[in-house]
Amino acid sequence: MKLRRSASPARDREGDEVPVTKSVRTVFQRKCPEELAQRRSMLADLVRQAAEMDESRPWKGHVTSPFFDGRGSPQSARRTVDGPLRFSSHFECGNLLCAKLVCTSKGAQTPGPGATELEYELLVDSDTQSAQGHTQWFYFAIRNGQFCGTVHFRILNLRKKKSLYQQGLQPFVFSRKKHRTWESNCCQGVYYGKKEKGLRDLSGSEARGDVMLQWSYRVDRKEDEIYFAAYPPYSYSMMSSFISSLEQDAVARCHFRRRELCRSIGQLPVPLLVVSEGLNEKEGEQLPKYAVVITARQHPGEVVGSWAVQGLLRFLLGPTPAAKCLREEFVFHVIPMVNVDGVVHGNSRCTLAGVDPNRVWHDPNPILHPVVFALKNHMRSLSQGLSSVKGIEMFLDLHGHSAKFGCFFYGSNPSAHISNAVFPKLCSLISTDIDFEQCHWRCPKSHRKTARYVVYKQFGVKYAYTIECSLYAPVPETGIPGHFTPSRVEFVGCAVGCGLAIFFQVDGEDPMKVCRQCSETAAPCDLNLVLDLSCPNVLAKRPWFQSEVLEHITPISVLESLTTSYGEVVPDMAKLSNDSDDGGDSDGDDGEEAPTAPPAPPPAPPPASPTSARKKNSKDSSQAKRLTARSPDDESLLSPSNARKRGSRARSMDNRFEPLRDSRDFSIPISSFESLWPEGEERKVASRPCGPEKLEKTLGDASIVSVSFGGGVTPQGHLAVLTTPQFCVTGAPVDRSL
């Protein structure tokens, strides 16, 4: 028994709230034998159907209702000792851990027969094997039997302190009896914040997580099945069914092939889609093209990434002239679902190994991170010009954001040229749902293991972006009002596709005109599997898609506008707008990276003894003699064998990050370095501090003329030194030993 305020507290005659005696009863546990058996059956069906799909059979999916028994008959809807509602979570993406029924009657363990109001305390399961216990995604179902009334739900163990639920977002609800799609505005009393002190889990200890989400829902139909989710789910079966439909479509199947990238830890195939013009029609190998690599769903709870990449595929495989030109010029390698195990098991962020896949790209393990390992090897082969590909031109990683409005881009280099901002700006001009003011190119230390940074740094891909899409709505000040429904998010992917066509200047010249289907039949063509954006009827009901912009914008005009506004370097929009930002963390730990303390000054060296002082003076004198003996043309400065050893060692270290070009010997006059050091400041020559006084003591009357070294130029334009610099000097030093 515990005294606690309920969702609908009782009141005395004066109107003051009075404490109500409560008791709780466990009505559902995910780890009970029945639930575990049903989950094993679901996973076995997925693996079996994935094997059948490899044999070119259409995907059927897991169609059994969670409330049907093994024979396909509805489970008994009669009232049980556990109360009028039955919970389920053994389907794909489901992650309800347990549910507790809260009773307010004295001595009663269940509500009375005429109860019209119920209250439940819920816990969602944390990510599999995750030490951090990520809990943000939720998805479960209830069956109400004969009950009609209001149900109050309260999830007690969420972890993120900031969420769009504080800005108006509501849980999404789907009712089988209403015959509608997922609804986003049918809940009442939504609250997201710190939970009440004293709320406890089944074991009696505090529920892990400091934040709770509570809402109320009115059940008005008997024998209904109602699903609640953080966002309309996109499961592994839905992805497989979509790919199977593309393979059956007469237009789409000509331009793409489905391959298996690898198998996940859970032995599910990870699909790789290769898209190019006439890929299945032309015999023999096609001419080499540049590749565009697109990934999505590294984090299972960020469902909008799957919806966006589905819209992008519907555009790329459609008859739009711009899409046809893109297929002719490029080959697209699309991985629509990276973390397939996390999606199936209802994780928020991690894989079955409890690892965030977007934090291991720098050095993936083939056993613990098989998908990232295989994907990185595949991209390495593309960047090296193998597999009939010239190289990677662009990399896009699609994510979702649960704390910010709108869609926006994250780049990889804060000092990149302003041309790196042209593509995000083009996409923001095409769709008002994409907000350029939230884009930035900062990449703090904690995000240098992410996909976009590793692809930029190790593979030399200049245009490597993360695309974030809100789970709620566009930016209120600039976007067109409305929720980000799955259909609307798909057109964000279409906007990215149109942005690619304009950015690479392959846009078709055909004007927009009504397609044959719209002119001959009453069925709108926007319901087709593939989209034709050249038909105005497709965009007529979507005012956030600025179709008129497509006719007159060019990359050159956008670049000139950006240069005028921000200069030659990409802008830091968060600093310009004085807005706080998460540093590019889509749905990770709250807050920015903790500032690192400045390094402590090195301890003062002990006073030198007379013996060590004499040794040091002798060493300085011998160094000066060696410098005077060298001439600019002396090949004995660095023997060929030593040069090869040092150069190969340096190259092996540098090749871990980016390939070099223009490798040769450099000779730079010392006068070129004079402007790099202000007067009076200590210089660094050969990685050693060499102030004016020390140089004078070391060289005497000698002076450095030039610096020679072997090096190369990185794809970003930086000079990489591969051999030890050699200093050419003139004059004769004073012999201090005399």
Query: Which residues are designated catalytic?
Result: 468
Q: Is the dihedral of CA 323, 328, 330, 335 positive or negative?
A: positive
How far from 482 is each of 231, 529, 718, CA to CA, in Å? 15, 24, 45
Residue type, 141: A
Q: What is the DSSP letter of 710?
A: E
Q: Is the distance from CB of 439 to CB of 409 less than 8 angstroms? A: yes
Distance CA 561, CA 426 (A): 11
Q: Is the distance from CB of 25 to CB of 244 less than 8 angstroms? A: no
Tell me the CB-side half-sphere exposure of residue 650, using CA atoms within 13 A.
18
Tell me the CB-side half-sphere exposure of residue 549, using CA atoms within 13 A.
21
Distance CA 574, CA 436 (A): 11
Q: Is the distance from CB of 336 to CB of 307 less than 8 angstroms? A: no
User: N- to C-terminal Cα distance for the chain?
Assistant: 95
Is 390 exposed, middle or buried, given 0-12, 13-18 or 19+ CB atoms closer than 10 A?
middle
How far from 473 is each of 150, 167, 383, 711, CA to CA, in Å? 27, 10, 36, 50
Token pair for residue 422?
Answer: 């042209």
CA dihedral of residues 710, 716, 717, 723 (deg, nearest 10): -10
Q: Is the distance from CB of 718 to CB of 657 less than 8 angstroms? A: no
Residues 6+ apart with CB under 8 A from 597: none
Residues 6+ apart with CB under 8 A from 606: none
